[in-house]
Amino acid sequence: MPKRVVIIGAGIVGLCTGYSLLRRGCDVTIVDRDGPNHEGCSFGNAGMVVPSHVIPLAAPGMVRMALKMMLRPRSPFFIRPRLSWDLIDWSWRFMRAANAGHVDRSAPVLRDLHLASRALYEQLAELPGADFGLTKLGLLMLCKSEHALHEEAALATRAKELGIPAEVLNCAQTAARDPNVKMDVAGSVYFPLDCHLRPDRLVVFLRKMLAEAGVKFVWNNPVTGWRREGNSISAAMTTQGDISADEYLICGGSWSPSLVHDLGLRLPMQAGKGYSLTLKNPRRLPRLCSILTEARVAVTPMGDTLRFGGTMEIAGLNQRISRGRVRGIIESIPQYFPEFTPDDFQDVPVWSGLRPCSPDGLPYIGRAGAYENLSIATGHAMMGISLGPISGELVAQMICREELAVDIGLLDPMRFARSKASWNQENKAQVLTGRSIDRPAAG
C-alpha cells in the first residue's frame, strides 16, 4: 500500500518534495493556507540557482554591517524595532552564529546542497512541458568600488577552494562578458555554474504536473492543530476537517513556527521581507543574471522582462510595502547600469514576499524532535528556489528510509531546541538593564 504523506505548504519546497515522493510511489496531499492564485515567496523572487552562495547569512562582519545599514532609511537591511522576545532570541542566536567557525562548517554543506539542486533542476528541465526557462550562463557579482571587488575576490578564492569555479574580472572583462548592457563598475566576480529561471513558471509547471499525476491539492485550508497518539501524529486538524496520513511534512515558510508551537517544538524564525520590480519592456536586457554587490540587489533577465529584487526587512508577518526600501532599490540601479533611470520604474507594481530566516542562515531539514512521523523543511531564507529540489529529495529519502544524498546534520530542525522560557528566565533581566548576556549553551 502506498505511503500516505501530507505536505503543509505549496511553495517551492513543498512542491519539490511532492515530486520526489511521487516518484517513489507515495500518495501525496498538499495543503496550503492560501488559494491557488496567491503569489507567495516562490513567485516573485530573483529565480537564481546559486552554487556560488556557500557562505551563510550569519557570517563574520554581518552584525556590524547590519547595524550600519539600519541607520539608513533606504538601506537593503532593516530590523523594525518591536517588543518581541522571539526577535531578541533570534537576534542573539544570529550574532552568536556569525563567526568563522560556523562558516567553515556550513560552507561545504551549502556547496553540496546547491550543486545537487542544480543537477536536479537540469533533470526537471528535460521533462515534458518544463518551460520555466532554466538558463545556465552564470552570474556576475558586480562591484561598484575597488574595495567591494577586493572583498568579493576573497570570497571567490574561498569558493574555488571548495570546488566552485570563479573568475575575477576587471571592468573591461566584465563588459565583454555581457555586452547587452552598459555597466559602470570597477569589476566583478563571475560564477559560471550559477543559473537563473522563471520562478512563477516553475511553480505553475510543478503544480500542473503533480495534479495530473494524482497529487491532491487542498487550498484555503490552514492547519489549526494536531491529533497525537504517543510519539506519532495521527491527523492534521484543518479548517476543513482532519486529514490523516502516515507521514506529515511542514513546509510552511515563515508561518512554520506557529504550526509546531502546539507540539511543544521551537523553530526560531524571522520573516525577511523582500521586494521585486519587473520591467516588461526594459531599455536593455542583460544575458546574465547579476547581483549589485554593495546595493544587495539581484538582477534577473526572465524572457523579455527584467526583474530587480532586494532588501531584507525583518518586520514580522506582514507584507506592508516600505516605499523607502523600494526607492532604495530603484535608486541603486542606475549606479551600476547607467542607461536605466528611476523613471523606468514609474507605475511598475511592487511585489513583496516573506522569506523564512533561521538565525544561523541554514535551512531546517529533518525529523521534528520526538515525533517519529513528522518532518520539517523550511528556513531557506533567500535560497528557497536554489535549494528547493534537493530539499525535497532529502525529505523524500528520509521518509522512505533511504540513504541521504547529503549529510544534513547541521540542518537539524531541533538544533535550537532550548526552550524560550529557559532563555528568557536567564537573560530577560540582563537585556532590560543592558548588561552583557552569557552565551547560551549549544542547542
Consecutive 10-residue averages of pLDDT for the chain (443 residues)? 95 97 98 87 90 89 71 71 86 92 96 98 97 97 97 96 98 97 98 97 97 97 95 96 97 95 93 95 96 96 96 85 91 97 96 94 94 97 96 98 94 79 41 33 32
Contacts of 281 (CB under 8 A, 6+ apart): 304
**H helix or E strand, kind and range, residue 355:** strand 350-357
- Residue 257 and residue 86: Cα distance in Å, rounded? 11
- Residue 58 and residue 154: Cα distance in Å, rounded? 17
Q: Which three cell numbers stand for residue 357?
A: 530566516
- Dihedral sign of CA atoms 326, 356, 383, 77 in order: positive
Pairing of strands 305-314, 77-79: parallel
CB neighbours of residue 91 within 10 Å: 18
122: left (phi over 0), alpha (psi -120 to 50) or beta: alpha
Q: What is the pTM of this model?
A: 0.91
What pLDDT is stored for residue 427 in this prediction? 44
- Residue 64 and residue 202: Cα distance in Å, rounded? 37
